[in-house]
Amino acid sequence: MVFELWEDHEQVVHVRDDTVGLRAIIAIHSTALGPSLGGTRFRPYDNERDALVDVMRLSRAMSYKAACAGLPLGGGKAVIIGDPATDKSDELFAAYGKAIDSLSGRYVTACDVGTYPADMAAIKTRTPWATGSPVEQGGSGDSGILTAWGVFVGLRKAAEFRWGSNDLSDARVAVQGLGKVGGRVVEHLLEAGASVVVADVDAARVAAAAEHPDVEAIGVDEILFADVDILSPNALGAVLSADTIPAIKAKVVCGGANNQLAMDEDAKLLADHDILYAPDYVANAGGIINIFGELEPGGWNEEVAHRRTDAIADTLQEVFDLATSEGVTTEEAAERIAEERMAVRSGPDRWWHAGREDARA
**CA 289 to mean position of chain CA atoms:** 10
From 19-27, 42-50, 178-186, 246-254, give the range in contact with ligand NAI by CB under 6 A. Answer: 178-186
Look up 65 and say whether it is catalytic.
no
Q: Which of 236, 263, 343, 359 touches ligand NAI (CB under 6 A)?
A: 236
From 79, 76, 80, 52, select the one nearest 65 (Cα to Cα). 76
Minimum CB distance to ligand NAI smaller for 204 or for 361: 204
Residue pair 253/273 in contact by the 8 Å Cβ criterion: no
| Per CB under 6 A, 321 contacts ligand NAI | no
Give the integer Cα–Cα distance in Å for 258 and 351: 29
From 85-93, 161-169, 233-241, 352-360, give the range in contact with ligand NAI by CB under 6 A. Answer: 233-241
**CA 334 to mean position of chain CA atoms:** 15
Q: Would you say how long the chain is, in residues?
A: 361
Residues 117-176 that bind ligand NAI (CB under 6 A): 143-144, 147, 176
Residue pair 179/151 in contact by the 8 Å Cβ criterion: no
Give the integer Cα–Cα distance in Å for 238 and 254: 14
| Per CB under 6 A, 66 contacts ligand NAI | no
Minimum CB distance to ligand NAI smaller for 34 or for 233: 233
Q: Which of 139, 154, 287, 293 touches ligand NAI (CB under 6 A)?
A: 287
| Per CB under 6 A, 55 contacts ligand NAI | no
> Which residues lie closer than 8 Å to 126 by C-beta, 6 or more apart?
94, 95, 97, 98, 100, 101
Give the integer Cα–Cα distance in Å for 212 and 198: 11
Minimum CB distance to ligand NAI smaller for 185 or for 323: 185
Least distance to ligand NAI from the beta carbon of 111, Å? 8
Count the residues of the shown chain that bind ligand NAI, applying the rule CB under 6 A. 24
Chain residues in the site for ligand NAI (CB under 6 A): 143-144, 147, 176-182, 199-202, 205, 220, 234-236, 256-258, 284, 287
Annotated catalytic residues are: 77
